[in-house]
Amino acid sequence: MSHSMRFRRSTSHRAGYPVSVAISATSDNARSHMGNWYVLLIAVTTLFVIFGCVRAETPVDSTSPATGAAADESSEESLAILAGGCFWCTEAVFERMEGVTDVVSGYIGGRNANPTYRQVCTGMTGHAEAVQVFYDPSKTSFAEILKVFFKTHDPTTLNRQGVDTGTQYRSSVFYLDEEQKRIAADYIKELDTHGDFRNPIVTKLEKATEFYPAEEYHQDYFRRNPNAAYCQRVVVDKVRKFNRNFGDKIKEELK
């Protein structure tokens, strides 16, 4: 799956089932002729139903590689891909942000295809734990996404966030196009010059490569496991930091 594909957690795996139709034979030629046309009509209708179901279940390309703009079935979306340590933390923060329509945890920037969590945790695959942040550009922007990103993790510690160490926990912006790269580079320069960080920012700018959604149990981890030890010890602090600094950006239903 490329970085441009949306991971659909709610998608049913049910395929379209053909409808069995039985038509009674008759000796009357006219009625038999009409029966044949009726069978043909039912068959064609069934095919439309089947292909309609299959099409509905097939993931669609949700971004434009040239611009990073994501096209949902009913509205325009944009996409940012960010790595800021454990993806449970980053996901929990952005799921609270107004304008964000979906967040997907996964792996990016590594060497082998379809890595597992256990493989990535060794630090040997080169992947970073990252999130795809889908957002409505009429409600927020890539620049606003970056402000939240840099304020809710430490971009000055190389390959480390708190007790989590290794290249899989690196701070990185995986840009989708040159515009995102420019915006991120300019903001990092601004933070290094006028920001509140004592040490230089070490966040990498990496061209987005294949993004592999993490295993299902990693998705919405904080929401599903708010009382887990790591969530209480680490994730909660990131969420509270977002709440303190971006009270105006919290989704209305979460205030």
pTM to 2 decimal places:
0.74
The DSSP string of 135-191 is E-TTT--HHHHHHHHHHSS-TTSTTEETTEESGGG-EEEEESSHHHHHHHHHHHHHH
pLDDT band at residue 152 under the 50/70/90 scheme: very high
pLDDT digits (tens, 9 = 90+) for 122-133: 999 999 999 999
Q: Where are the alpha helices (DSSP H) in the chain?
A: 29-57, 87-94, 117-121, 142-151, 178-194, 221-224, 229-230, 236-245
* Cβ neighbours around 176 below 10 Å, total: 24
**Which segment of 18-32, 63-77, 116-130, 133-147 scores lowest on mean pLDDT?**
18-32
Q: Is 102 helix (H, G, I), strand (E, B) or coil?
A: strand
pLDDT band at residue 206 under the 50/70/90 scheme: very high
- Sign of the torsion formed by the C-alpha atoms of 11, 144, 183 and 159: negative
Whether 136 shows a pLDDT value over 60: the answer reads: yes
Q: Which residue has the higher pLDDT, 55 or 224?
A: 224
Whether 187 shows a pLDDT value over 90: the answer reads: yes
Q: For 195, which DSSP code?
A: S
Residues belonging to the chain:
255
Contacts of 233 (CB under 8 A, 6+ apart): none
Helix (H) / strand (E) containing 105: strand 100-108
Percent of the chain with pLDDT over 90: 69
Classify residue 16 by burial, with Cβ atoms within 10 Å: 0-12, 13-18, 19+: middle
pLDDT digits (tens, 9 = 90+) for 93-128: 999 999 999 999 999 999 999 999 999 999 999 999
- What's the confidence (pLDDT) of residue 16? 28
- What's the confidence (pLDDT) of residue 252? 95
- What's the confidence (pLDDT) of residue 57? 31
Query: How far, in Å, CA of 217 to CA of 117, rounded?
Result: 11
pLDDT band at residue 149 under the 50/70/90 scheme: very high
Contacts of 173 (CB under 8 A, 6+ apart): 80, 81, 82, 83, 146, 149, 180, 184, 203, 204, 205, 206
**How much is the average pLDDT of 31-45?**
45
86 carries an active-site annotation: yes
Spot the catalytic one: 86, 89, 121, 231: 86
Whether 8 shows a pLDDT value over 80: the answer reads: no
pLDDT band at residue 31 under the 50/70/90 scheme: very low
- What's the confidence (pLDDT) of residue 75? 57
**How much is the average pLDDT of 189-209?**
96
